[in-house]
C-alpha cells in the first residue's frame, strides 16, 4: 500500500480551506443582490409593522436594496412563518415575528416545520414586557395582595387575554398555576374587547402589554400592579417589577425577532445582525420603540438562538403543566 503523501493534493486542500472564509465574506459583501422580502405573518398596522418601519429606511440606505414587508397573515402567524421556513436560504426572504412563532406555537399546533431548527435567528429586535393589570373592582394594590385574594377560599377570578395561546394567556396561566389554579381564562378576539370587559367588571385581571392599556391606566380606570420584567418601565416608574414584587418566575414579554430560513449563509446572517444591532443602539430609534411600549433587546444571532431555546423550554413546560389547548 502506497502511504506516500501527495504534497500537491494536500496543498490544494489547504488552499481550499484557507479560501473558504474569504469566499464567504465576499458573498456577504455582495448581498443583497435584489430587494429583500420580510414576511410579516399578521395583519398590517400592528406594533411589529411599526418596528419594521423604524428599521426599513436605514437598512435600505445601508445595503442599497429595498427591505419590503410582505404580509402573510393567518393561523396565528403560522402561515407566514411556514412560508419562510420553506423558502430558499439565499438571504432574500426573512421573517419578522413575535414570541409565539418561535417559541410557543409548535406546542399548540401541528405546524409541519420546527421553528427551533428551521430558522436562523438574525437579531432579537425588541420586547414589550407584560403588565399585571386589575379592574376597578379588585381591592389589591400589589401583586402579593392579588395572589392572596386569588388563593382565598371561595374566590372567583377571571383573567382575560386577546386570544388563546397568546403571551398574555400564558402569563395568566402561569400566575394561576402558582396560586391555586382556580382562576378561569376568558379569551377575547383582541385586546380592546378584553379591556372593555375588565372595565365592566366581568374580567378581574389580565396581563397585557403597555400600549393598549396606557390610556386606561393614566385615567385610573385600570391599575397596574407589576411589570412582568426584571426592571421597571420608564413610562410607569411607580410600578414595581415582578422581581421586586417577589415573583421572579413571572417574567413574560412579547418579543420580536428577525430570522432567516435555515441554511442561510452565516456571513450574511452575521452582517445583517450586526447592522440591526447598531440601529437598535441608536437613541433616536430607541425613542421610537419606547413610543410603542417596546424596549430594544439588541441580541445578535448566537444570543438570539440561545434566547429562543430558553423561552421555548419555558413555554413547553408551562403548556404541559397547564394542559392549554387551542380549540
Q: What is the pLDDT of residues 109-158, one digit of tens each?
A: 999 999 999 999 999 999 999 999 999 999 999 999 999 999 999 899 99
Which grid cell sits at 37? 422580502
CATH number of the domain where residue 49 is located: 3.40.190.150
Q: Are residues 119 and 135 in the same domain?
A: no
Band the pLDDT of 1: cuts 50, 70, 90: very low
List pLDDT tens digits, range 55-83: 999 999 999 999 999 999 999 999 999 99
Whole-number pLDDT of residue 22: 47
CATH of the domain at 172: 3.40.190.10
258 and 189, same structural domain?
no
* 139 occurs within a structural domain: yes
DSSP 35: P
Q: Is residue 199 part of a domain?
A: yes
What is 156-181 written as a DSSP string? --EEEESSTTSHHHHHHHHHHHHTTS
In sequence order, which residues have a C-beta less than 8 Å from that of residue 261 and are 6 or more positions away?
84, 85, 86, 87, 88, 89, 93, 118, 119, 120
Note the pLDDT of residue 45.
82
Share of the chain above pLDDT 70, in %: 91
Whether residue 48 lies inside any domain: the answer is: yes
C-alpha cell at position 311: 423561552
| Cell numbers placing 52 | 419594521
- Tally Cβ neighbours within 10 Å of residue 23: 11
CA atoms of 23 and 264, how far apart (whole Å): 15
Task: For residue 16, give every residue at least 6 positions away whose Cβ sits within 8 Å of its Cβ, in sequence order, or none.
Answer: none
Which percentage of the chain shows pLDDT scores above 90? Answer: 81
289 pLDDT above the threshold of 80: yes
Range of the structural domain that residue 219 is part of: 131-227
Q: For the segment 181-214, what is each residue's pLDDT rounded down to a tens digit?
A: 889 999 998 899 999 999 999 999 999 999 899 9
Strands 93-98 and 253-261, by their bridges, are antiparallel
In the predicted structure, residue 4 carries a pLDDT above the cut 60: no
Instruction: Look at residues 250, 236, 258, 205 and name the one whose alpha carbon lies nearest to residue 38.
Output: 258
**Looking up cell 379592574, which residue turns up?**
135
User: Do both 119 and 39 map to the same domain?
Assistant: yes
Average pLDDT over residues 232-254: 95
Looking at the domain assignment, is residue 237 inside a domain?
Answer: no
pLDDT for position 26:
58
**pTM recorded for the entire structure:** 0.87
Q: Are strands 253-261 and 158-161 parallel, antiparallel or unpaired?
A: unpaired
Amino acid at each position: 500500500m502506497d502511504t506516500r503523501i501527495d504534497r500537491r493534493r494536500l496543498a490544494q486542500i489547504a488552499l481550499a480551506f484557507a479560501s473558504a472564509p474569504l469566499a464567504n465574506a465576499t458573498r456577504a459583501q455582495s448581498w443583497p443582490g435584489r430587494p429583500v422580502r420580510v414576511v410579516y405573518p399578521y395583519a398590517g398596522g400592528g406594533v411589529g409593522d411599526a418596528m419594521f418601519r423604524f428599521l426599513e429606511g436605514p437598512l435600505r440606505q445601508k445595503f442599497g436594496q429595498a427591505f419590503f414587508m410582505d404580509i402573510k397573515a393567518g393561523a396565528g402567524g403560522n402561515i407566514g412563518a411556514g412560508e419562510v421556513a420553506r423558502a430558499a436560504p439565499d438571504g432574500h426572504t426573512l421573517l419578522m415575528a413575535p414570541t409565539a412563532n418561535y417559541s410557543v406555537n409548535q406546542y399548540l399546533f401541528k405546524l409541519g416545520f420546527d421553528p427551533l431548527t428551521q430558522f436562523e435567528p438574525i437579531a432579537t429586535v425588541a420586547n414589550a414586557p407584560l403588565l399585571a393589570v386589575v379592574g376597578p373592582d379588585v381591592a389589591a394594590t400589589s401583586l402579593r395582595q392579588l395572589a392572596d385574594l386569588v388563593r382565598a377560599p371561595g374566590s372567583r377570578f377571571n383573567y382575560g387575554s386577546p386570544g388563546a395561546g397568546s403571551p398574555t394567556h400564558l402569563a395568566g396561566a402561569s400566575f394561576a398555576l402558582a396560586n391555586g389554579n382556580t382562576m378561569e381564562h376568558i379569551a377575547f378576539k383582541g385586546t380592546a374587547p378584553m379591556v372593555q370587559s375588565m372595565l365592566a367588571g366581568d374580567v378581574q385581571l389580565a396581563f397585557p402589554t403597555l400600549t393598549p392599556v396606557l390610556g386606561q391606566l393614566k385615567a385610573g380606570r385600570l391599575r397596574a400592579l407589576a411589570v412582568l420584567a426584571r426592571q421597571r418601565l420608564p413610562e410607569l416608574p411607580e410600578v414595581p417589577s415582578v422581581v421586586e414584587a417577589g415573583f421572579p418566575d413571572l417574567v413574560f414579554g412579547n418579543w420580536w425577532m428577525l430570522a432567516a430560513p435555515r441554511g442561510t449563509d452565516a456571513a450574511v446572517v452575521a452582517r445583517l445582525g450586526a447592522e440591526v444591532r447598531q440601529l437598535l443602539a441608536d437613541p433616536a430609534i430607541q425613542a421610537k420603540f419606547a413610543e410603542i411600549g417596546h424596549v430594544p433587546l439588541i441580541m445578535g444571532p448566537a444570543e438570539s438562538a440561545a434566547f429562543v431555546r430558553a423561552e421555548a423550554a419555558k413555554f413547553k413546560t408551562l403548556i404541559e403543566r397547564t394542559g392549554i389547548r387551542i380549540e
